[in-house]
Amino acid sequence: MFSGTKTRYLAEKICQSLGCELGNLSITRFSDGEFEVCFEESIRGIDVFLVQSTFPNADNLMELLLMIDAAKRASARTVNAVVPYFGWARQDRKSKPRVSIAAKLVADMLSVAGITRLITMDLHADQEQGFFNVPVDHLYASSVILPYIQSLNLENLVIATPDVGGSKRASTYSKYLNCPMVLCNKTRKRANEVASMDVIGDVTDADVILIDDIVDTAGTITKAANLMKERGARSVRAIASHCIMSGPANERVEESAIEEMVFTDSIPYNNKCSKVKQLSIAALLAQTIQCVLNNESISKQYLI
């Protein structure tokens, strides 16, 4: 097991769960920003697992690509990329003329670099697994989120989604928890800016939990939470897989009706907000890695 710079905190937790040590890898940085990756121990004939989320800036992706290339050139038997958060995944189609499809490009880059398997969690769109020509083990944060929701013992639980695009995810949660679901319908002025929003469903006296995959600037989810509260919700919480929380996100969450904002630790979170809590996915990733090593099914990792 080896780790890139920004995901070392998670790799150390995974190693602790597996009972192994994190491998010795050096990254030498030059004055112009270029860097060089070197494995400081032999990996010839070894199954190598490289842990690195590819959230911006692009250095995180470039680190992973160089780690893969170095492992391949050092004669590793297999090169398994463990990417808890697959960055650039929101650009998964041509939403307008003359735009890039970054998710496909990044998938191609990882494949050309030499991965033999990808382990990731909660892709922005499930069909992005088809961008790869190697096996993809696609995990779901619901494995750690659902037990947490159940531990809250909320009296009048309602699952909600901040936009119609997340209705499938919210529906799956509501069926598993045997509770109602409501939707928010929004329109956008431009990226990261919501024009209008309305609630489809009744949230009167409800303990609402908003479910999403990514929270970036938190504009949509805080607007949805405030609207739920205006419509009579008793409490509003928000849970998302990946904690981007960029720009004004922390201030928006602090000032919103959200009582608690829960994420996994797929991305490091440094700008502390008093309402934010992180659940660790280290054990989930460790169990999946063990299944891969033992050629076992990973189906037992899925609650839904």
Encoded amino acid at 6, one letter: K
Three-state secondary-structure class, residue 263 = strand
Q: CA 106, CA 227: separation in Å to the nearest integer?
A: 37
Q: CA 294, CA 287: separation in Å to the nearest integer?
A: 11
Collect all residues with Cβ–Cβ distance below 8 Å to 26 and sequence separation of at least 6. 37, 38, 40
The answer to whether residue 186 is catalytic is: yes
- Tokens coding 195: 């024009």
- Would you call the peptide bond into 57 cis, given omega within 30 degrees of 0 as the criterion? yes
From the number of C-beta atoms within 10 Å of its C-beta (0-12, 13-18, 19+), residue 275 rates as middle
State the catalytic residue, choosing from 186, 223, 272, 275. 186
Q: How far apart are the first and last CA of the chain?
A: 28
Which residue numbers are catalytic?
186
